Amino acid sequence: MTQLVLGLDSSTQSISAVVIDIDIDEEKIIHEAALNFSQEFPHYQTEDGVLRGDDATEVHAPPLMWVEALDALFMQLKDAIDLSQVVAIGGSGQQHGSVYLKESVNACLAKLDSSSPLHVQLVDQFSRATSPIWMDASTSAQCEALAADCGGNAALCEATGSVAVERFTGAQIKKFAEQDPQAYQDTAHISLVSSFISSLLVGAIHGIDYGDATGMNLLDIRQRAWHDDAVKSCGAQLSKKLQAAVDPRDFIGNMSKYMQERFGFSADCQVLPFSGDNPCSLVGLGLVEDDMTAISLGTSDTVFGHISSLPETMSQWAHTFVAPTNNYMLLLCFKNGSLAREAIRQQCGFNWDEFTAAIEATDPGNNGGFMLPWFDTEIVPKVLTPGVHIKEIDEQNKAALCRGVVESQMLAMRLHAAEAGLEPTSIRATGGASQNAAILQIMADVFQCPVDVLEISNGAALGAGLRAIQAIKNCDWQTSVAPYTQVQASLRKEPRKQFATVYNNMLVAYTEAEQAALSA
């Protein structure tokens, strides 16, 4: 009998699904579907899936929209495939976003009527109509107070895996508890986007998985339990509202009666606790062992990788999350990613082909020329005043600027990834700019390791599905993910050994320039 696994991803702009055939001779994705929130559900009045207030730093989204979209996606899937063949479901959600629910929600979920859509029945269950999401940066005051209550940022980072961060859920909850104490008191459960959606599937609110819980500044990353000082700082009775965090590898239950009756799922279909999109993407890119690192070249560039044990001292530049393997992942986010490449391209008046040709016409090492590419404020390292520092490049030399921006970004990533404990021996590249072979060659040369791209996209939904495959087959991670995460062999970029010294020297120069700029 055919056995299917479903991977879902509730992201910022859309909800998507990947349906995977797990039979040993098949092992392939048989169906994909996606619904864009703003386009398909315009009545929530979001733009790109989010609501912005007068205060530009506040970014929320309506959780009811995610519920309606889930129902609509399942309706679509039901017409395309036989959902009774789905044996397990894994899922992913945009990290950090939080959902505030009333005491009555579990009773409501227990007696849902399968003839009516989910959102219609859940409309009164929210104690807060909108959910702050990862793009919200309005909690600097709360971050400062949270860090102080936990013995400072170094101690908070050591305990929870990250310094206090505005978008992380702890500070977001703290702000809500301070600004609307009555609504906070009326909140019986606080979920993340991930755990909220999997709670809907099993028909009861369950605890947050360790992975997404490490995106809150609230979980003691070693104990896998709420950190006393952090939860105390962020709200009264908070650990009760959160419930205990759960192991991402353990099924939390089966599809609820409602899900069975409404969409045709089997009563035996098991549900894994959903996790954050970054932990799920780690698996979707096949990074389930140490020394495997990914670089995502998007609006921001991120470097992330799997580690089996925590470094002696936690890097304050990185976020350390619990990985779906129940080991760890490191993630570093560089804000000046495509933003910086785009700025140089425009400054030179080039299209992307000309930008690429310019890179190819210049020599690795750029005759010693580089830049600190801080076109905007930067996260790694923390730069609050934008400013590009050009070193040894004639600003009329367009080709040198093009190579310079990409080489400098790679040097910054190599420097700070190594500080955090990631020294890749191979890299999987993803994101828009990973289509560009010239950029990938620079990555391979700067890091001095091979760079691959994968055949798949939608890594978060796929990774969520692969988590479910690992859990249902109960086999090792590499065996579970390898058939679905093959690299495109013909696109591999090998490092050119003859440039190792050039880039080692440049790394020293880059480090010195960065330190000088930061201490100026």
Footprint on this chain of ligand XUL (rule: CB under 6 A): 11-12, 94-96, 134, 167, 215, 276-278
Task: Give the residue from 286, 265, 272 showing the smallest Cα distance to 4.
Answer: 265
Minimum CB separation from ligand XUL for residue 34, in Å? 15
Minimum CB separation from ligand XUL for residue 162, in Å? 9
Residue 277: is it exposed, middle or buried by C-beta count within 10 angstroms (0-12/13-18/19+)?
buried
Contact 94, 12 (CB under 8 A): yes
For tokens 């060659």, name the residue: 441
Considering beta carbons, is residue 96 or 227 the nearer one to ligand XUL? 96
Considering beta carbons, is residue 264 or 298 the nearer one to ligand XUL? 298
Considering beta carbons, is residue 278 or 366 the nearer one to ligand XUL? 278
3-state secondary structure of 103: coil
Contact 514, 415 (CB under 8 A): yes
CB under 8 A, 24+ apart: contacts of 234-239: 234/142, 234/146, 234/170, 234/171, 234/173, 234/174, 234/177, 235/173, 235/174, 235/176, 235/177, 235/184, 236/177, 236/184, 236/185, 238/173, 238/190
Considering beta carbons, is residue 214 or 254 the nearer one to ligand XUL? 214
Minimum CB separation from ligand XUL for residue 254, in Å? 28
Considering beta carbons, is residue 134 or 375 the nearer one to ligand XUL? 134
Considering beta carbons, is residue 62 or 215 the nearer one to ligand XUL? 215
Helices and strands in the chain: count of H runs, count of E runs: 21, 22
Minimum CB separation from ligand XUL for residue 303, in Å? 13
In angstroms, the CA 194 to CA 327 distance is 19
Minimum CB separation from ligand XUL for residue 447, in Å? 22
Pairing of strands 51-52, 319-322: unpaired
Contact 286, 428 (CB under 8 A): yes
Contact 430, 453 (CB under 8 A): yes
Minimum CB separation from ligand XUL for residue 129, in Å? 21
Contact 276, 321 (CB under 8 A): yes
Considering beta carbons, is residue 100 or 134 the nearer one to ligand XUL? 134
Minimum CB separation from ligand XUL for residue 65, in Å? 16
